[in-house]
Structure 1
């Protein structure tokens, strides 16, 4: 009889163990992935990893290059910061329904909160200090922007964040097609042109080098640059003193100014003997271009720069 009781206890223990294991397995099978995880994709960025929505509806861009990138990909941000008083022509038609959050590195956090974004895209140097605040409002990704030499990498980053990598391929195809068209239009003149660029802004005179935004476009076209500009440095831009004005000597000189102060400084430069010795000045081949366009750092601005190159190098527009 004792043996029978022992066997019954053993059988009950086995049944109980099997039931617990089955229940656990059943519970495991019923666990479903989070709805949030199913609707977002993970992005590795300068300040960590963030799961961003696959189809964001209310995007905030915290730099002008980011704004232009999104627009080029067919996404219109709800809001952006700017760094200009008057929008450049390439952006003017897009800004009507975009909320301006302030200038440079001072986005209005209260406005961002009210807008209820579902995605915020920024660049490290201007976003890092407020990243934690922004992350509490919406998924926030930050690119390790290294100045205008990284404009193409930043565009590809924005395309990945927005899930628009196929659209990005078409944007680059259009860019290279326009570059090739410009090369064809210039023909043999490419070998004879030395193109210089100088911009005057904010109390300084600067030259954009080979790896700057506009410098990379000129390099893709295949035109020569003055020796002082045919180099690459971190940031792609260097200060120019009035004593070194011959560093902007070239067959053609593009000049960009920003604001009344810059315009006055350019007028003063024109009175300098060194300015009058520049080849482009002597041959009346100094051309005005829009400052925020030639420093735009995005495909829309690049398209506008190529328009200027067609305008002045191919179609023979009048100089200043």
Structure 2
């Protein structure tokens, strides 16, 4: 009889955590969602959300990766391994998402609010800011994502490590140096100002980031004359493709007036600097910036 009772007790101890697993409730600022248990099949519809999961060693089963895995930073890919593409960030495939049978979807407030009802019919869905978010905002979103996947202690430890690393890099950066990052396409140049993601990371490192106009947008298109009016000490360029408008400008007489034109126009990874946001992305941006200042950076083609 004692042996039977012992076996029953052991059996109950094994099933109890499953039977009575505590649900996870998260308020994303727009909705309050409840996840029945720690999610194991997560689909993310923005790169920064994959970054947040990678920071706590969680691998999503699906990512809206624009059908190009290399758009995610190498550091993120190294942690999360393989995944299924669910299309582009702008138009993710509802069918592909549903086919993965997720127990959590993380969507962008700006891009995906219009399809929230379809997404939430598949699985509990977080709506968080990513597109247009600044550095500090991305850290807050990462903390919410960690809460949703039951990794809050791990995220707290990772954020502490992150802040220590960023402070260490900031201590080595020249103070007050003026740095501007912009993304170059064939016929346009997008300035990433002080309130942009890359701009706000640079400011956290002690750099000055010029703005096209007071109370302007975080991201604004600029011509060569406007670029000259900003005249940063350093110009970092994310080249989406070649030839582009910066290639064209660099051959014009006005280009030589730009302070940075004397060896301080540096090509950086457009995927990390322009398309991505998050803990790992910020660390890569910071390491790049410091390497550039120290003369050890290898420009990107």
The Cα shift of 1:318 comes to: 5.8
- Verify the 8 A CA contact 1:194 1:223 in the aligned structure 2: yes
Q: Aligned to 2:149, which of 162, 168, 183?
A: 162
Query: What SS class does the counterpart of residue 121 from structure 1 fall into?
Result: strand
**Superimposed CA distance per residue, residues 51-97 of structure 1 (whole angstroms, 9 cap, x where no aligned partner):** 11442111111111111111112211000102474434334435641
Residue 132 to residue 200, structure 1, CA distance change in 2 (3 Å): same
Identify the residue that residue 239 of structure 2 maps to in structure 1.
Answer: 257
Query: What SS class does the counterpart of residue 76 from structure 1 fall into?
Result: coil
User: Which ranges of structure 1 fall in alignment gaps of 5 or more residues?
Assistant: 1-34
With normalisation by structure 1, the TM-score equals: 0.78
Identify the residue that residue 34 of structure 2 maps to in structure 1.
Answer: 51
The Cα shift of 1:208 comes to: 1.0
Residue 210 to residue 73, structure 1, CA distance change in 2 (3 Å): same
Query: What SS class does the counterpart of residue 82 from structure 1 fall into?
Result: coil
User: Which ranges of structure 2 fall in alignment gaps of 5 or more residues?
Assistant: 1-17
- Verify the 8 A CA contact 1:64 1:83 in the aligned structure 2: no
More helix by share: 1
Matched, 1:101 2:86: yes
Rounded to whole Å, the distance in 2 between the matches of 1:264 and 1:148 is 26
Corresponding residue pairs, total: 278
Query: What SS class does the counterpart of residue 148 from structure 1 fall into?
Result: coil
RMSD: 2.6
Structure 2 counterparts to residues 82-161 of structure 1, below 5 A: 82-83=65-66, 85=68, 86-87=70-71, 88-94=73-79, 96-145=81-130, 147-149=132-134, 150-161=137-148
Rounded to whole Å, the distance in 2 between the matches of 1:163 and 1:237 is 34
With normalisation by structure 2, the TM-score equals: 0.82
- Verify the 8 A CA contact 1:60 1:121 in the aligned structure 2: yes
**Superimposed CA distance per residue, residues 241-300 of structure 1 (whole angstroms, 9 cap, x where no aligned partner):** 23312144222211111123xx43221111122222111112x12211011201211111
- Verify the 8 A CA contact 1:226 1:247 in the aligned structure 2: no
Q: Aligned to 1:171, which of 158, 181, 191?
A: 158
Rounded to whole Å, the distance in 2 between the matches of 1:102 and 1:267 is 31
Larger radius of gyration: 1
- Verify the 8 A CA contact 2:64 2:87 in the aligned structure 1: yes
Rounded to whole Å, the distance in 2 between the matches of 1:84 and 1:309 is 29
